[in-house]
Amino acid sequence: MIRCIAIDDEPLALKQMAGYISKTPFLELVDAFENALDAIPFLENNQVDLMFVDINMPDLSGMDFVKSLTNPPKVIFTTAYSEYALEGFRVNAIDYLLKPIGYADFLKSANKAKGLFESQPSQTEEVKIKNDSLFIKSEYKILRIFFKDIKYIEGMREYLRIHLLNAKPVMTLLSMKKMEEFLPDDSFMRVHRSFIVNLNQITTIERNRIIFDEDVYIPVSDQHKQKFQEWLDKNFLV
């Protein structure tokens, strides 16, 4: 599935675009925004593959919004003014949809995006392991992540969010099961269906919950409780 957001200051146009995305089998609508400024913090914390962005918006135009992003997702622009088409392609837009937009034109652009994504190497093929780190693909970049810098890993459907000690979380398209295979089992343990923790970073445990920060409580599920307790017993000083 291609994870999408839609941005348009016109409520009816936004509703139409959200509807088109939702009815297209290979697209997943993860959120919709009437203001580009509201989408910025969302993009910082969520994996998005494709954006449908209106160019003509107040406060921050769609074009300036895309230019402001360090590593923007792929984009398809929408607008009522054809003169913006050339400028759109200058920022590597996949396509340009002229309003009013019919579903046939939308689907043509969506299929163009689908073909582009399918031509790229799969994310799992990009994972490389070193003795002290792994390389993963995230937002069209290859990042090196040292094992010692990982606090915990959170599963989010097809994606993982890797929480780091002194950096922003990193999102990557990978399953929890596959990530478990890559991590050294003497330092990492899956404690819940949605969480893998770095055992070396655990400092506080309370009522079957691992506390990493004041507001981060990771539960130890019944399925993984025995294994975690065995590790705890080996490291517990009476």
129 pLDDT band, cuts 50/70/90, is: low
Q: How many CB atoms lie within 10 A of CB 214?
A: 6
The structural domains of the chain, ordered by start, are: 2-118 (3.40.50.2300), 123-235 (2.40.50.1020)
Asked if the model's pLDDT at residue 111 lies above 90, the reply is: yes
C-alpha–C-alpha distance, residues 190 and 197, integer Å? 6
Higher pLDDT, 158 or 111: 111
Task: Dump pLDDT digits (tens) for 54-83.
Answer: 998 888 888 889 888 877 889 999 988 766
Query: 191-208 pLDDT, tens per residue?
Result: 998 999 999 999 899 888
How do residues 206-223 score in pLDDT, each as one tens digit? 888 999 877 788 999 999
Task: For residue 226, count CB atoms less than 10 angstroms from its CB and return exposed for 0-12, middle for 13-18, buried for 19 or more.
Answer: exposed
pLDDT at 89 over 80: no
Which DSSP helix (H) or strand (E) runs through 28? strand 27-33
Q: What percent of the chain has pLDDT over 70?
A: 89
Rounded to an integer, what distance in angstroms lies between the CA atom of residue 133 and that of residue 179? 13
